[in-house]
């Protein structure tokens, strides 16, 4: 900007002189536009100069006051908004909140199982509006009974409270007989459902009331031996007692038995592993005695679990109140014995009908002391045994008791059996024919050992043990095959005797006769020679199929009941060659039968010879007519 002349003052200089003057010059009230004029650039100074003597208004001071007032107002409005929002959030205006509803329950917090539990439930509405269609619900644990009728289940409580006004408290009372296991804390869910005016929504306020059970309504105790030898019978005594103040119906004891335990008897009828006790009055008790055997290895421990409770509608234990366990250790007998059938352990052996079986009995002294006058006896029983065939090799067979005994009378080593000493005895027997098996053919060996060992002051102490082994006998199926021409279900054609170059049809008959137990999946297969054709005609039980590639005929006979028989027929066509003249060629190769024995749990088989042009089943059969002409 060019410098101003000495006689010319800028607007800034004029303003400075005015501010620092001793007394402001008298002037008329300045116009509101004076400040704006004085803010014009210096180039306009000549124009604004007539107004230079006018005092400027305090514009800056006025702007500060307006901003301050605006700021104070905004702060005040914001504060009021916060107060209003807090009020609406806390009090909700006319809205309803479950937080403004309180549920209080008065009643016992600890009970004995079977006690009558009285509960008073108070509901308070602290909302600014009324609660409509209010309903109070409480769910009780399974097994709860009605306080007015202990025979009736009572698992749910429902009370329609209607309208609960703002600020109002309503109460509801309920009584129930509650059961549970000792030490359990039961949770009783309580829920209040309600609606509000002008809304179709349903709201729910939930609450849970804890109830601790100090004693169980039913208890059970278990008493049994600490150890047993494998296969030796022992008893388990159970005592069930009611601690409830009301009768309990459908009381049941549920047993969980270890693998290898066989329950042979029960003082009360058992339904599988469950023992129903019926109704127990308050303080009543019942005793159950179980007898069984336990199989296992030496040193093995097995646990028995018994639970007592009430039965469910579908059977079994519905509510369990107490469980007791018992552990039984298996120890080896002082004389450990092992039986083998034809060289195989009896646990995996299977008997065949009308066969001779060899049994070996090996024994070992497992004690650290000697056994004196040791005896090993094996009693043989079962419908598959031909008792007249039993013969002992180095023992004595008593035909009146069917028992083979090995003692010092036959083997002097048994007079004093040193620790770890062992020996072997043997005998043989035969099984009866399959036709005499019956429905469940088997052989049972009951092995008993006895002797004496030195006790205190060298006094002899008698010891004994026993175990049982059972071997199932597999059924025998007889397979018979034959060829027919004049007889059978089909009309056969062609010359008889057969003639070279001329086709002759034959009917093949297969019969499977089951002489023992029932079998499943019975089937017979055979292969046709290259000069024989399968015609496709079949008849009889089951179904036939033919594979032209392998030339195998399969007869699926299906299941055979014990003692039953099945017969099937199929037709073949035979065109003899001149090279076969004077012979009776085979029409079907050797047949093989397979099936599964349901009782013995093993696969069985049978076989039959090939079928030729000989037809002994035909009326007027002549062997000479079987040869090819």
556-611 per-position pLDDT tens digit: 999 988 778 999 999 999 999 999 999 999 999 999 999 998 888 888 899 999 99
Q: What is the pLDDT of residue 37?
A: 44
Left if phi > 0, otherwise alpha if psi is -120 to 50, otherwise beta: which for 612? beta
- Model pLDDT for residues 476-499, shown as the tens digit of each residue: 888 999 999 999 999 999 999 999
Q: What's the CA gap between 337 and 447, in Å, rounded? A: 8
Q: What's the CA gap between 539 and 531, in Å, rounded? A: 23
Sheet strands (E) in 382-503: 385-392, 396-398, 403-406, 416-417, 422-431, 442-454, 460-472, 477-484
Q: In degrees, to the nearest 5, what angle opens at C-alpha 564 toward C-alphas 347 and 476?
A: 35
- Here the contacts of 191-194 (C-beta below 8 Å, separation 24 or greater) are 191/136, 191/137, 191/138, 192/101, 192/103, 192/123, 192/134, 192/135, 192/136, 192/137, 192/161, 193/133, 193/134, 193/135, 193/137, 194/131, 194/132, 194/133, 194/134, 194/135, 194/164
Q: What is the pLDDT of residue 21?
A: 62
Strand order across the beta sheet in which 185-195 lies? 110-111, 203-213, 185-195, 131-139, 156-164
- Please identify every stretch of the chain with a pLDDT value under 70, giving residue numbers as ranges: 1-12, 15, 17, 19-66, 84-95, 113, 151, 297, 314-315, 332, 437-440, 455-458
Q: What is the separation of C-alpha 183 from the centre of its chain, rounded to a whole number of angstroms?
A: 28
The full DSSP string for 62-87 is: HHHHHHHHHHHHHHHHHHHHHHHHHH
Q: What's the CA gap between 276 and 283, in Å, rounded? A: 18
Q: What's the CA gap between 320 and 312, in Å, rounded? A: 10
The answer to whether 248 and 146 have CB atoms below 8 angstroms apart is no
Q: What's the CA gap between 516 and 470, in Å, rounded? A: 18
- Locus of tokens 């309903």: 135
Name the CA radius of gyration of the chain, rounded. Answer: 53
- Model pLDDT for residues 278-289, shown as the tens digit of each residue: 888 888 899 999
Half-sphere exposure of 76 (CA within 13 A, CB side): 6
Sheet strands (E) in 267-381: 274-280, 285-294, 301-311, 317-331, 335-341, 344-345, 356-365, 371-381
The dihedral sign for the CA sequence 57, 59, 61, 62: positive
3-state SS assignment for residue 186: strand
Where does residue 555 rank: exposed (0-12), middle (13-18), buried (19+ CB within 10 A)? Answer: buried
Task: Output b/e per residue, 499-512; b: 16+ Cβ within 10 A.
Answer: eeeeebbbbbbbbb
Q: What is the pLDDT of residue 242?
A: 86
Q: What is the pLDDT of residue 41?
A: 52
Q: What is the pLDDT of residue 512?
A: 94
DSSP, res 37 = H
Q: What's the CA gap between 139 and 622, in Å, rounded? A: 91
Beta-carbon contacts of residue 431 (< 8 Å; ≥ 6 apart): 351, 352, 353, 354, 355, 357, 384, 385, 386, 441, 443, 473
- Model pLDDT for residues 35-56, shown as the tens digit of each residue: 444 454 544 444 444 444 445 5
Task: Output b/e per residue, 149-162; b: 16+ Cβ within 10 A.
Answer: ebeeebeebebebe
The full DSSP string for 510-545 is: EEEEE-SS-EEEEEEEEE--TTEEEEEEEEESSEEE
3-state SS assignment for residue 51: helix
- Locus of tokens 């399968």: 534
Name the token pair of 566.
């099945």
Task: Write phi, then psi, for 50 (nearest 5 degrees).
Answer: -65, -20
Sheet strands (E) in 528-616: 532-540, 543-547, 552-560, 565-574, 586-588, 591-597, 602-608, 611-612
DSSP, res 10 = -
Q: What's the CA gap between 450 and 288, in Å, rounded? A: 31
- Model pLDDT for residues 604-627, shown as the tens digit of each residue: 899 999 999 999 999 989 888 999
Q: What's the CA gap between 366 and 363, in Å, rounded? A: 9
User: Residue 116 belongs to what H/E stretch?
Assistant: strand 115-125
Q: What is the number of other CB atoms lying within 10 angstroms of the CB of residue 203?
A: 16
Q: What is the pLDDT of residue 95?
A: 66
Q: Roughly how many angstroms between the first and final C-alpha of the chain, as a whole number?
A: 151
Beta-carbon contacts of residue 131 (< 8 Å; ≥ 6 apart): 96, 101, 125, 163, 164, 194, 195, 196
Instruction: Please name each of the domains of the chain with its CATH number.
Output: 11-57 (no CATH), 98-213 (2.60.40.10), 218-331 (2.60.40.10), 335-472 (2.60.40.740), 477-626 (2.60.40.1170)
- Locus of tokens 């008298």: 26
Q: What is the pLDDT of residue 87?
A: 57
């Amino acid at each position: 900007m060019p410098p101003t002349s000495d006689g010319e003052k800028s607007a800034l200089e004029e303003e400075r002189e005015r501010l620092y003057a001793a007394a402001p010059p008298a002037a008329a009230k300045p116009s509101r536009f004076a400040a704006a004029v004085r803010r014009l650039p210096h180039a306009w100074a000549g124009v604004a100069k007539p107004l230079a003597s006018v005092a400027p208004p305090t514009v800056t001071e006025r702007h500060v006051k307006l901003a301050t007032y605006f700021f104070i107002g905004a702060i005040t409005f914001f504060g009021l908004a916060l107060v209003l929002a807090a009020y609406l959030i806390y009090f909700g205006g006319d809205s309803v909140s479950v937080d403004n509803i309180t549920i209080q329950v008065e009643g016992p917090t600890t009970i004995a199982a079977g006690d009558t539990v009285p509960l008073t439930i108070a509901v308070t509405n602290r909302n600014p509006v009324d609660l409509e269609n209010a309903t109070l619900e409480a769910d009780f644990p399974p097994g709860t009974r009605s306080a007015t009728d202990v025979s009736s289940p009572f698992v749910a409580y429902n009370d329609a409270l209607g309208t609960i006004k703002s600020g109002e408290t309503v109460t509801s009372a309920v009584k129930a007989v509650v059961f549970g296991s000792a030490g359990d804390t039961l949770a009783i869910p309580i829920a209040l459902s309600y609606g509000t005016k002008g809304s179709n929504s349903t709201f729910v306020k939930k609450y849970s009331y804890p109830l601790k059970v100090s004693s169980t309504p039913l208890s059970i105790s278990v008493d049994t031996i600490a150890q047993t030898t494998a296969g030796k019978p022992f008893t388990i005594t159970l005592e069930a007692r009611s601690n409830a103040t009301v009768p309990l119906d459908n009381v049941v004891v549920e047993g969980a038995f270890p693998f290898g335990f066989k329950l042979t008897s029960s003082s009360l009828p058992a339904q599988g592993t469950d023992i129903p006790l019926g109704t127990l009055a308050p303080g009543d008790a019942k005793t159950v005695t179980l007898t069984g055997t336990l199989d296992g290895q030496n040193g093995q421990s097995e646990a028995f679990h018994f639970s007592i409770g009430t039965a469910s509608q579908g059977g079994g234990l519905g509510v369990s109140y107490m469980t007791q366990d018992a552990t039984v250790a298996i120890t080896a007998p002082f004389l450990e014995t092992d039986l083998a059938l034809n060289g195989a352990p009896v646990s995996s052996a299977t008997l065949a009908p009308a066969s001779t079986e060899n049994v070996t009995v090996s024994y070992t002294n497992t004690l650290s002391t000697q056994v004196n006058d040791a005896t090993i006896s094996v009693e043989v029983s079962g419908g598959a045994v031909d008792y007249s065939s039993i013969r002992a090799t180095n023992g004595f067979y008593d035909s009146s008791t069917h028992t083979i005994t090995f003692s010092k009378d036959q083997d002097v080593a048994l007079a004093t059996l040193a620790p770890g000493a062992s020996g072997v005895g043997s005998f043989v027997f035969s099984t009866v024919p399959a036709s005499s098996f019956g429905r469940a053919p088997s052989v049972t060996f009951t092995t008993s050992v006895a002797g004496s060992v030195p006790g205190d002051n060298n006094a002899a102490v008698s010891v004994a043990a026993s175990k049982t082994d059972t071997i199932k006998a597999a059924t025998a199926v007889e397979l018979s095959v034959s060829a027919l021409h004049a007889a059978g279900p089909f009309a056969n054609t062609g010359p008889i005797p057969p003639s070279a170059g001329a086709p002759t049809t034959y009917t093949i008959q297969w019969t499977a006769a089951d002489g023992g137990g029932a079998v499943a999946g019975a089937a017979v297969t055979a292969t046709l020679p290259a000069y024989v054709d399968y015609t496709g005609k079949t008849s009889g039980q089951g179904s036939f199929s033919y594979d032209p590639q392998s030339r195998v005929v399969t007869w699926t006979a299906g299941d055979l009941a014990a003692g039953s028989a099945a017969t099937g027929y199929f037709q073949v066509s035979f065109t003899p060659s001149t090279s076969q003249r004077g012979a009776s060629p085979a029409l079907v190769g050797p047949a093989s039968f397979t099936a599964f024995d349901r009782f013995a749990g093993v696969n069985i088989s049978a076989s039959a010879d090939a079928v030729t042009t000989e037809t002994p089943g035909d009326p007027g059969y002549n062997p000479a007519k079987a040869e090819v002409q």
